[in-house]
Chain A
Amino acid sequence: MSTLIALILVLLCLMIFSGGRRGVSAFITLIVNFGLLFLTVILISGGFPPIFVMMFTGISMLAIIIYVGNENEAQTNTAFLATLLVLMVMLILIIPMNYLMQIYGFSSEQSEEIEAFNVAIGVNFSSIAIATTILSTLGAIAEAAIAVASGMEEIIEQGGSKTANELRLSGRNIGLQIMGMTFNTLFFGMFGGNLALFILISKLDASFGYYANSKIFVSETMLVIYAAISVVLVIWVTIEMTVLKTSKAKSGNKR
């Protein structure tokens, strides 16, 4: 049996052990998301425009992550709308920045690995980079949005009548806690995943100029920065949407 299959089976068993029925449904979302990601690569390779493919699979993945396993419809709707809004904002931010910074395709450090290939393969590497950047941050956005939405819902249920400013403040406190940990998850995930690259750069005795300008390092750093920006944005949008919704519900009650 292949190692990967064995590890996946162990993961399934442990998820059932820890989560019971919800563990099973979480595992199924993983499999479906994996399938969607794989479909994305296949479609992009097939010549479909990467950003449109990403929008399609990305929004499906967001819906799956947010709606499966969360029963409360009000807060999941808020979370989903907030993530969609942030997805659009990030797209508007990333497209021009990616053009200005020219971070796409392959870096000179990778040239040894791809020397057997002819890289003029007629795809738009810039769009692929935009699509993968947004996809890699989607999970974190969804997680933060759900956490803030459900945390604030709980406060509204417990606290009764609160002013919009008080609600905003407690939303910010929840967001702050979530953000701190999410930043670390992203940081360790992204930099840990690129450990080999960092060792290589250290061996090259790189200067500060290298860190601030090389395609590969800047693109990895930008990934973390984009992720951080989108997490902060989604927390903000979720807080404001929840505040807006509650104040609307309240003024509706008065009438």
Chain B
Amino acid sequence: MRKKLFFECIIMILGAIVIFVISTHDAFLYKQTILQVTEVSQGKTFKTSDEYGNHDKKTNQRVDGLILNGEKKGKKFSFQNTYAASGGLSQNYQKGQQIFVTISKENGKYEVTPTNYKRDTYLFMMCWIMICLLFIVMKIDGLRTIISVLINFILFLIIVQLDVWWNITNFFVIFAVSAVIFTAITLAMIVGLNKQFWVTFLSIVSGTSIALLISIVIMWITQDNGMHYEALDFATQQPKQLFLSATLIGLLGTVMDASTDIVSTLFELKRSQPQVTFQQLYQSGREVGKDIMGPLINVLLLIFFAETFTMAVLYFRTGNTIGYTFSWTMSLGLTQAVISGIGIALVIPAASLIAAWSLGGSEK
């Protein structure tokens, strides 16, 4: 037992070292040119301020570095950089960091422009830490959960790619269909293909579609009053459909969570007490629902709302009113959370009813 533990520790530490060494020396795998900073000389710092009374400091720096890959491997280059103390868009480069750069030739002189900071080492290290932690706490079963998320992630990327390739007008259909596929695959991995699968699947689909339908009807009745779909970040397709597609996927996750909890509790109840009636089953389903409703909606509120903070601070600090900032940076996220809440509130009676009906009906 102790020997096994020792062995596992060795693997975890070795894995971390291997990942670190490989990812700090993987420059030859990249097509983009990578520069390793060898020396930084800090220049002048000057104060800046804007018309809203915000004070910041900007500093010039000269960055010297060594090219790690490509044709110019081993050559030295340098460039000028200016960074702000607040660090909204610019970055303070430091010795030892690796940066992606583009090198262009102008009038016989090389011009180096930093494009991106190299983050892969830390990303892979954190993934490794997560995997090790999962293994320590949950053993092999924990890793299975990660695989289910990984499959969903790959599927998600494929669907997004399909959306880009097909480029159809009503692309919401793609995401609606994919939502059904997501549900089926996730459930099949968690509960397996059995009666419980069909009951959960049916309650998720009904809960999600009714919630979305209600939301769309309300948007239609209120004529999207106050909804700034054009404020959606990174929108490259019709914003309202994009918003609805994003909402649908977020909604699906929580509805899945709630209905799996309810249905599995009711199936467990039936197993331990086979004589339980339809009414009792339905009531216990509702009780489970009451327990999870509050925390679950709060999870969504925090996820959707906290992400808007950086932008909101920028709006507030540049003289915008509370109302304006709210409606342009936060209201879409809040709407997503509210629609997910509607889904959770709806799926509780739906899942209780469907599960009670399918379990209680067979006894009569």
Residues of A within 8 A of B (CB): 1-4, 6-8, 10-11, 14-15, 17-20, 22-23, 25-26, 29-30, 33-34, 37, 40-42, 44-45, 61, 65, 68-69, 97, 100-106, 108-111, 113-114, 117-126, 128-129, 131-133, 135-140, 142-143, 146-147, 150, 172, 175-177, 179-200, 202-203, 207, 209, 212-215, 218, 221-223, 225, 228-229, 232-233, 235-236
Contact = CB atoms under 8 A, between A and B. Distances in A.
Contact of B310 (A102, A132, A223): A132
Given A6-B218, A184-B256, A213 B100 contact: yes
A118 B50 contact: yes
Residue among A3, A17, A40, A139 with the highest chain B CB neighbour number at 10 A: A3
Given A23-B345, A143-B296, A193-B303, A218 B119 contact: yes
B153 A187 contact: yes
Nearest to B97: A102
A84 B224 CA distance: 40
B164 A188 contact: no
Residue among A101, A181, A195 with the highest chain B CB neighbour number at 10 A: A195
A204 to B, nearest CB: 10
Contacts of A147: 292
B305 interface: yes
B312 A41 contact: yes
A97 B122 contact: yes
Contact of B302 (A129, A139, A187): A139
Contacts of B348: 18-19
Interface string B322-352: 1000000001011110111110011011000
B181 interface: no
B175 to A, nearest CB: 8
A133 B304 CA distance: 11
Contact of A3 (B123, B286, B314, B335): B335
Contacts of B299: 139-140, 142-143, 185, 189
Given A10-B214, A203-B236, 9 more contacts: A17-B345, A19-B289, A125-B87, A128-B309, A188-B182, A196-B237, A199-B163, A215-B116, A215-B119
Given A132-B310, A146-B295, A225-B127, A176 B141 contact: yes
Nearest to B348: A18
A177 B119 CA distance: 33
A19 B305 contact: no
A221 B214 CA distance: 32
20 contacts: A11-B338, A14-B345, A22-B290, A23-B345, A34-B334, A41-B316, A44-B309, A118-B50, A119-B314, A121-B317, A123-B317, A187-B253, A192-B253, A195-B160, A195-B242, A195-B246, A197-B233, A212-B119, A213-B118, A232-B138
Contacts of A185: 253-254, 256-257, 296, 299-300
A172 B137 contact: yes
B256 to A, nearest CB: 6
A137 B148 CA distance: 20
Nearest to B215: A7
Nearest to B260: A181
B304 A193 contact: yes
B137 A120 contact: no
Give the 4 A-B CB pairs with smallest separation, nearest first. Answer: A188-B253, A192-B249, A26-B294, A119-B88
Interface stretch (B4-12, B37-45, B52-60): B52-60
Residue among B245, B297, B334 with the highest chain A CB neighbour number at 10 A: B297
A13 B261 CA distance: 23
A150 to B, nearest CB: 8
Nearest to B51: A118
Interface stretch (B14-22, B72-80, B128-136, B274-282): B128-136
Nearest to B117: A102
Given A121-B88, A189-B250, A218-B123, A34 B293 contact: no
Given A114-B314, A120-B56, A175-B138, A15 B341 contact: yes
A164 B122 CA distance: 37
Given A7-B338, A139-B299, A229 B133 contact: yes
B122 A33 contact: no
B342 A11 contact: yes
B111 interface: no
Contacts of A111: 89
B87 A3 contact: no
B303 A186 contact: yes
A222 to B, nearest CB: 7
Nearest to B58: A120
Contacts of B261: 181
A202 B163 CA distance: 9
Given A18-B289, A213-B119, A136 B303 contact: yes
B301 interface: yes
A191 to B, nearest CB: 6
A106 B310 contact: yes
Contacts of A42: 316, 322
B256 A213 contact: no
